[in-house]
Amino acid sequence: MPPAEEPKAAVFSDGSRVPVRRVFTYKQDDGVPVFTDKVPANQTYEVMEFSCYACDPGSTVNWNSTLLHTDKYRTEIAAAASTWGVDEALIRAIMHAESGFNPHARSHKGATGLMQLMLGTAADMGVVDIHAVSDNIQGGVKYLAMLLEQYNGDITRATATYNAGPANVDRYDGVPPFAETQTYVERVKILHERYRNAT
């Protein structure tokens, strides 16, 4: 008998291995979207999977009060911010949203580390060791800096692109109509403001 397939999982800030959450979404008769972890009965629905720390619309985390990590990786973040000219508060917001500050985080799509870099992006950014904290941060911040330059400092578009890719953002001329991306952008905005006020 073959071994059971290992469930998809992500690893977040507490170091635990967390199964990727499956979320079912459908629209009510009045057009209001509903998100649930149970298969909807008698409804046409879509299945979404979320492993990014802040990507799940059904998350119970209160993003306006969740614990901030203002001291973690202070040296590495300051160095990357200085090198690439990116606001430290924004770097922390992205890192918080992507990995929950867990350097060992890995999504089911293969995004790795604190800044959840894909191998292709890491290679494009000249990252030598995607698992090394400093390299991962430098690569993620370099990419973020490129996006901010591409969109003339528009943080919303840069953030959306970090999550959904440039093709989707350009196609929709802004934040694409994906629940994950819209949720991610809103939570990064909240975290960015909170980190900016905390430092």
pLDDT at 144 over 60: yes
**43 and 78 part of one domain:** no
From residue 85, alpha-carbon distances to 46, 70, 101, 129, 145 in Å are 40, 19, 21, 22, 7
Residues 178 and 86 in one domain: yes
Do 83 and 172 fall into the same domain? yes
CA torsion sign, 112 to 117 to 118 to 123? negative
Domain membership flag for residue 170: yes
**Would residue 193 show up in a list of annotated catalytic residues for this protein?**
no
Angle in degrees, CA 156, 158, 159, rounded to 5: 65
For residues 27 and 94, membership in a common domain is answered with: no
Residue 49 has pLDDT above 70, yes or no: no
Q: Give the pLDDT of residue 134.
A: 98
Instruction: Please give the model's pTM, rounded to 2 decimal places.
Output: 0.76
Same domain, 38 and 79: no
Q: For position 89, what pLDDT does the model report?
A: 99
Residue 131 lies in a domain: yes
110, part of any domain: yes
Look at 50 and 175; give whichever has higher pLDDT: 175
Say whether both 153 and 86 belong to one domain.
Answer: yes
Q: Is the dihedral of CA 26, 28, 34, 39 positive or negative?
A: negative
The count of structural domains within the chain is 2
Q: Looking at the structure, do residues 80 and 178 belong to the same domain, yes or no? A: yes
Host H or E run for residue 19? strand 17-19
pLDDT digits (tens, 9 = 90+) for 59-117: 788 999 999 999 999 999 999 999 999 999 999 999 999 999 989 888 777 789 999 99
Q: Strand runs (DSSP E) across 37-92, as ranges?
A: 46-50
* Domain membership flag for residue 60: no
State the pLDDT confidence band at 25, using cuts at 50, 70 and 90.
low
Active-site position among 6, 98, 149, 186: 98
pLDDT, tens only, 158-191: 999 999 999 999 999 999 999 889 999 999 999 9
In this structure, the answer to whether residues 168 and 90 fall within a common structural domain is yes
**Domain hosting residue 39, numbered range:** 9-50
Rounded to an integer, the average pLDDT of 121-131 is 96
- 59 occurs within a structural domain: no
> Based on the domain organization, do 177 and 79 belong to the same domain?
yes
